[in-house]
A and B are shown apart, each in its own frame.
Chain A
């Protein structure tokens, strides 16, 4: 079965603290991987995409970074969280886009 596992499901973090969100895929070989962010009540914004291991392209600058250490893993991180980082983070693959269940991040 094809699955995307995102972790954690939800997180409450303090401003200035570090963050690491994870995404592990199963059942799809060498897909394109994406990170999306959605502010509460807002639209989906593509943050990063990766075509292959070790290669990540930034689409929107939000003081976040991403890495793809393995073919089936995509990591989103930052050293210092901002209040504006709050929202819903989704990992997805293509072709034929499929999303994980997302991580809800609240920065306080």
Chain B
């Protein structure tokens, strides 16, 4: 089965609204990361967050290991936030496989 499930698959916001993206995982966690994929394809790491809460500007990532979930909160969204957001998990005993979610396609309208 799929190790990482992301939701929602897509999200449309008006500029200024907040977004909450979820990542649920079914394996024991070694590391969790959130990425932003630009329309051109390159990936930018937003957070390396195996546990707890981290903040960066308008972004907040929270990983709760016991509940096997991680979230990415975007506050006061801007049109430049549009793109694909991916979570990636490296599990214990995963033989160095890193599992990606299928991503959330975010569109922020002006």
Residues of A participating in the B interface, judged by any CB pair closer than 8 Å = 32, 34, 38, 43-44, 46, 49, 51, 57, 59, 88, 90, 92, 94-99, 101-102, 104
Contacts and interface: CB of A to CB of B under 8 A. Distances in A.
Contact of A32 (B41, B96, B102): B96
Interface of B: 31, 33, 35, 41-43, 45, 48, 86, 88, 90, 95-98, 100, 102-103
B42 A99 contact: yes
Contact of A59 (B88, B90, B97): B97
A15 B35 CA distance: 33
A43 B102 contact: yes
Given A95-B31, A96-B33, A99-B42, A51 B100 contact: no
A94 B45 contact: no
Nearest to A51: B96
B41 A97 contact: no
Nearest to A50: B96
A34 B43 CA distance: 14
